[in-house]
Amino acid sequence: MDFSAFTNTDLPDAGSWLHLDHPGNGKLLYLGKGNSITTEETDKPCRVLVRGNRAAAVKRVIDARSRAEELHAARFLRSSERDASKLVSDHSKTKDQYQLDLLVATVADWENIVISEGEPPAPCTPKNIKAALSHPSFMVAIFKRSGDEAALFTDAPTG
């Protein structure tokens, strides 16, 4: 047996499918009749293809966020008391933006996701990812999947 065959170097970029669940009750989400989201099982699961946290696109955002944190800390230490509150406010906005950038980098594709009830499934674009998946529950599930190396070997069950 060749142990080098068990390498997973391509898996973080390929990602794995994650079936989204309802933020309130934890039940799996599906696309129902009339393009509405439901927890009643259909053959159209609401899924996202999640890249691993070692994927190139994800690593770029994580590295940029780390550099921004270091710069902020250095600026904060050099700032006057008067400037410190503005730095804190600006840093909070920057952190929120990096969180959304990380979400966009982590989501490679999706299936059966609608932005508004009744509309057809939306294409997976950065703007749509931010609109549809920025709920904290979705973000936590996506980031948790991204960091789960074992999940990259299998897709999530759909029901």
Residue 37 confidence (pLDDT) above 60: yes
Q: How far apart are CA 98 and CA 127, in angstroms?
A: 14
pLDDT tens digits for 110-155?
999 999 989 999 999 999 999 999 999 999 999 999 988 767 656 5
Report yes or no on whether pTM surpasses 0.85. Answer: no
Domain boundaries, the chain: 12-153
Q: pLDDT for 81-103, tens place per residue?
A: 667 777 777 777 788 889 999 99
Residue 68 backbone class (left: φ over 0; alpha: ψ -120 to 50; beta: rest): alpha
Segment 45-65 mean pLDDT: 93
| Percentage, residues of the chain above pLDDT 70 | 86
Task: For the chain, give the percent of residues with pLDDT over 90.
Answer: 56
CA atoms within 13 A on the CB side of 53: 12
Beta strands in 27-133 (DSSP E): 30-31, 37-38, 47-50, 107-111
H or E stretch covering 17: strand 16-19
Backbone angles phi, psi at 19, to 5 degrees: -80, 120
